[in-house]
Chains A and B, each alone.
Chain A
């Protein structure tokens, strides 16, 4: 029996490189100005999966990503680096999902696959919530090991894992099935593999195939691994009430752009008299001394 690993990976706006045009004049985020990237810790999650695949005979890595149709880019990127296959979970009815609704949906998809191991990133940089991993584990009724820095040992039945906590480290073991989340201190993901890039560069999702002008019919028949499947609400047998906005207990009441409030300030130069004045001022007002 093969060792099945699911990697949960999200496409996110690159909030780390927010340029001047990233905020619109009305204070809302201009998503269009932010490049969409593979969530950094999810790439590290993929690397942990690839390392398991290097060690365990007959391991399979299945990528699950939920998002709009273009999020299939994540699956292709993962295939270039060594993943086995992937499913894009996409449906308009998922729009507006908070972490609870997202974890409900992803948990249904994981159940269809029945893996030994689920690997998620610790958190996605668009929200930094770090909730989806543990919420899925709870829905699946399996244990979790968060903040994984390295999988030290793995076999079909059990994993030994080093965790990175804010003030130290822990080594734990746990039987499969389990879910782990991967911390930013874990190994970076290996680069794309040239052979895999050639093999998968024509991989297309079902929606993409419908839009392609070129005829892919023959290629998809000869190389079925190039067809990337999509799962909708119906495919997952999901309860519509538990999805999207209606399945999300958290609501956004208000969004404000961050602006620094201007204070009256005293401007000083490097001249001795200025610095002397400042130090006196601080001592006199008992801030220092």
Chain B
């Protein structure tokens, strides 16, 4: 087969955002090398699930539907995917870098003895010539990711083993409908022939999954505060501006660590990746771990009392001064000009 396959995560009957983002990426990759895009959904009560994935360009959807498959458990999902991959021999397999994907993908890679790269920020095809043997490889998946706490960017390849497996965080790839009337083929996996009692070793006693409360990722305008904002009270100014502009408040890790705002608002390598049309960085120095999560914003404004702050290098506008002086003025002049 040698297709591209995406593992789709399910929560409450919904395919996860990150999986739809990966389908979008997978469709593009499949087109480039002229292969099919396949998706796998594993869960329970999945009737009609194809309607959520076909618009993203899925050609073949594998469905494993069984009461023992939801909520997610490592062993049954591993077993089903290992079986499927052995049969279908995909070229590339993509997973969300979520608590599910990062639990599941390494077990599969360990079983199939193939390579796996965690937390990729970019996936492209490229060629490769092995130094020693001069052996040439066409269309290898370049799995690009930060390493060493974000100080270096590494390109990883798996020349010899298949599938080439990678995980990607939510928000890193862009989600785009391919074609609303696209239809693929559905293949049902015979779950009963695969699952055995021993795969049910872990029993879930309680489960509390919250719907994500704040989701700054989908906001087109983000007013983000760093350690330089100074206090929870000063953050209120940012909230005021965000509300006025119809945006959301984001933060650096230093601001989150200082307790100014919740972790759900953290932008960067260990927070969310955002690409809004406007990103205002207030009192943020611009460490690579932070900029990795926002440098694709269309417009960036930096407010910082240090004109040499690294963030200024990637900003379109730099205002040199104190956050607490500038934000009230922005509020004032916005109100004046919008009338």
Chain A residues with CB under 8 Å of chain B are 13, 15-16, 18, 22-23, 27-29, 98-100, 103, 125-139, 143-147, 160, 165-175, 178, 248-258, 260-263, 265-270, 272, 274-276, 278-280, 282-283, 287-289
Task: State A130–B106 Cα separation when bound (angstroms).
Answer: 8
CB < 8 Å A-B pair total: 242
Task: State A279–B111 Cα separation when bound (angstroms).
Answer: 57
| Known A144-B74, A276-B337: A253·B155 in contact at CB below 8 Å | yes
Q: Is the CB of B330 within 8 A of A279?
A: yes
| Known A15-B151, A131-B106: A272·B157 in contact at CB below 8 Å | no
**Other-chain residue from B98, B113, B150, B316 in contact with A258 (beta carbon distance below 8 A):** B150
Shortest Cβ-Cβ A-B pairs, 6 listed: A15-B149, A249-B115, A270-B321, A135-B110, A138-B110, A250-B115
Segment at the interface with A among B54-62, B86-94, B188-196, B307-315: B307-315
Task: State A145–B103 Cα separation when bound (angstroms).
Answer: 9
Task: State A257–B154 Cα separation when bound (angstroms).
Answer: 9
From residue B248, how far is it (CB to closest CB) to chain A in Å? Answer: 13
Q: Interface size class for chain B?
A: 35 or more
Q: Is the CB of B330 within 8 A of A275?
A: yes
CB closest residue in chain B, given A27: B152
Q: Is the CB of A127 within 8 A of B147?
A: yes
Task: State A279–B278 Cα separation when bound (angstroms).
Answer: 12
| A257: chain B residues within 8 A (beta carbon) | 151-153
From residue A59, how far is it (CB to closest CB) to chain B in Å? Answer: 22
| A131: chain B residues within 8 A (beta carbon) | 102, 105-106, 109, 116, 118
**Other-chain residue from A103, A252, A288 in contact with B334 (beta carbon distance below 8 A):** A288
Q: Is the CB of A256 within 8 A of B142?
A: no
**Other-chain residue from A29, A275, A287 in contact with B152 (beta carbon distance below 8 A):** A29
B184 at the interface (CB under 8 A from A): no
B319 at the interface (CB under 8 A from A): yes
B277 at the interface (CB under 8 A from A): yes
Q: Is the CB of B107 within 8 A of A98?
A: no
User: Would you call the interface of chain B mostly helix, strand, loop, or mixed?
Assistant: mixed
Segment at the interface with A among B28-36, B44-52, B204-212, B230-238: B204-212
Q: Is the CB of B318 within 8 A of A265?
A: yes
CB closest residue in chain A, given B153: A256
Segment at the interface with A among B19-27, B158-166, B172-180: B158-166
B68 at the interface (CB under 8 A from A): no
Task: State A144–B106 Cα separation when bound (angstroms).
Answer: 12
| A103: chain B residues within 8 A (beta carbon) | 110
- How would residues 320 to 339 of chain B score, 1 for a CB under 8 Å from any chain A CB and 0 otherwise? 11100110011001101110
| Known A170-B206, A256-B153, A274-B319: A283·B337 in contact at CB below 8 Å | yes
| A168: chain B residues within 8 A (beta carbon) | 207-210
Q: Is the CB of A270 within 8 A of B278?
A: no
Task: State A265–B295 Cα separation when bound (angstroms).
Answer: 14
Q: Is the CB of A144 within 8 A of B206?
A: no
